Chains A and B, each alone.
Chain A
Amino acid sequence: MHRRHLLANGIIAILLVVVFGGLCTTVFALLGAQTDWSKAWEYRETLWRGWLMTLGISIAALIGSIFCGLLFMLGQRSPWVVVRWTCRAFLEFVRDTPLLVHLLFGYFVIFAPLMARPLGEHGFDDKLIIGILLLSVFEGAYLGEILRGGVDSIPRTQWESARAVGFSRVQVYRYVIFPQALRRVLPAMAGLFVSLIKDSSLLNVIGVAEYFYNTKNFISRSYAGLEGYVPLAVGYLLLTLPVAWLAHWLETRFRHET
């Protein structure tokens, strides 16, 4: 049995390598003549600046989305019905429409007429700030739902025990509910943060000079192919893989039996 397993594994591995290798060779053979890596090197500075911009947007929107997510989560647990329903309706709207639409509509129709000039006059990049804001709200809507699920999953007795030992409303969340809920939703949150990094590429539609935007410009100017898209993929992997690993590590670190 053990032997057959090994054999099967080996065969599958070889097959996969052959198929993948074959595909790569074909693609490279087709494009090989036109692939010129020096083009990418020429544009390294714009690419680097774009990558840094994507990193900055991701960090800012990550913080922003945590803030929005907490707000949406608490809003849905509010004692006032009006707040709960408004929150619910807003979340449903945000989650059921594409981010692309939020960005285009939000920037060109809502925020730009209001804020572009005042922000620009104070030396801020209005596109960047509005883009981060819209991205934060969008991802925050998802995070709000994840957090709500986590908080709702904590059994009633925990709330009661926390109240019984005399914790205030805020302390109940701070010391009892959140520490337990966060552990439960950590994998979902990590997935969301990876999505957030990737979604930041959509900010190119409102003209934010992030990694995708700069790469796209470089490709259209230099007629690059592989030498443009390979660094693009690798650049995003460099941002997303650490997040995934960190989440995995935290998950094993904080796993406790319940």
Chain B
Amino acid sequence: MKLEVTGLIKCYGKTRAADGLSLFVEAARVLVLIGPSGGGKSTLLRMLGGLEVPDEGSVVINGRRLGVDEQALQAYRRRNGFLFQQFNLFPHLTARRNIELPLEKVHGHPPAEATEMATQALARFSLLDHADKLPAQLSGGQQQRVGIARAVARKPEVLFLDEPTSALDPEMTAEVLELIQELAEAGQDIILSTHEMGFARAVADQVAFVAGGKIEEMGPPADLFGASRSPLCQRFLSRVMRY
């Protein structure tokens, strides 16, 4: 995946969640965003994912410029996958139905085909036993895995994950991270934000440190974690790696 982000500005009231943010990635399979909470990771990810329109600046992914009108963004979102921290699933539908419904209504697959695709997606992440359960009957980790299954059921160009394990306990975190790593190894392009530094280091091709609405530093994980240049990044890493 190739990414060119230039001069992004996004304000919520008086806070500048993105403050002239630029980011260039020549080629990366997995791009990981790290940084302090409130530093602009989520906002950046949401703008990259087409859920939020920047006030200024442009995003070009794989040579295609992201539109700003709702119709272009909707088409863009349909090509990609997006997962939030939690409550991704629709609580009134079973796990299987959660996957089938967008396939039928958004992508126009006939019901039988949608069912087949949903079965495959569930089987791929060994969730078939939970196919007919409602989200409330699943653990947090299982819910996130179903969420990911839904997001990748139709082979998205890019998968966006916004702190996918922040609401989970360590055991469930591990089960979700394993799955993400599997996807990355299978060749899925992924942009994700996380607080799991070990995971970022293991899975990322490029790591970007986001703080104060800007990219403070970017580089391959070995460089960034081993010898970061920016003092902000050094301080952040020394704090989160201490324990």
Contact = CB atoms under 8 A, between A and B. Distances in A.
B87 A166 contact: no
B84 A166 contact: no
Contacts of A155: 87
A176 B77 CA distance: 17
Interface string A135-166: 00000000000000000000101101111111
Interface stretch (B99-107, B110-118, B223-231): B99-107
A156 to B, nearest CB: 9
A168 B137 CA distance: 28
B88 A257 contact: no
A180 B91 contact: yes
A256 interface: yes
Given A165-B150, A167-B106, A175-B105, A158 B90 contact: yes
B86 A157 contact: yes
Nearest to A161: B88
Contacts of A169: 70
Contact of A256 (B84, B107, B136, B150): B136
Interface in B19-56: 49, 51
Contacts of A165: 77, 82, 102, 106, 150-151
A18 B25 CA distance: 85
Nearest to B87: A157
Contacts of A225: none
B147 to A, nearest CB: 8
Given A157-B87, A165-B150, A171-B105, A257 B134 contact: yes
A160 B91 CA distance: 14
Q: Which of B83, B102, B107 has the most CB of A within 10 A?
A: B102
A256 B89 CA distance: 14
Contact of A257 (B74, B84, B107, B137): B137
A258 B150 CA distance: 19
B14 interface: no
A179 interface: yes
B219 to A, nearest CB: 29
Nearest to B90: A176
A167 B105 contact: yes
A164 B51 contact: yes
B76 to A, nearest CB: 9
Interface in B143-182: 150-151
A183 interface: yes
B78 interface: yes
Given A166-B102, A167-B105, A157 B74 contact: no
A160 B102 contact: no
Contacts of A180: 90-92
Nearest to A258: B91
A256 B134 contact: yes
A161 B105 contact: no
A179 B134 CA distance: 14
Given A179-B92, A180-B91, A257-B134, A163 B84 contact: no
A166 B150 CA distance: 12
Nearest to A174: B105
A51 B19 CA distance: 68
Contacts of A179: 92
Q: Which of B74, B90, B151 has the most CB of A within 10 A?
A: B90
A169 B86 CA distance: 22
Interface string A222-258: 0000000000000000000000000000000000111
Nearest to B71: A168
Given A256-B134, A257-B137, A161 B106 contact: no
Contacts of A158: 87, 90
B71 to A, nearest CB: 9
B86 A257 contact: no
Contacts of B102: 165-167
Nearest to A166: B78
Q: Which 5 A/B pairs are nearest by Cβ-Cβ distance?
A: A166-B78, A257-B136, A164-B82, A165-B102, A166-B106
Given A164-B77, A166-B107, 13 more contacts: A155-B87, A157-B84, A158-B90, A161-B89, A164-B83, A165-B82, A165-B106, A165-B151, A166-B77, A167-B105, A167-B106, A180-B91, A256-B136
21 contacts: A157-B84, A157-B86, A157-B87, A158-B87, A161-B89, A162-B90, A163-B77, A164-B82, A165-B77, A165-B106, A166-B74, A166-B77, A166-B78, A167-B102, A167-B105, A169-B70, A180-B92, A256-B92, A257-B137, A258-B91, A258-B136
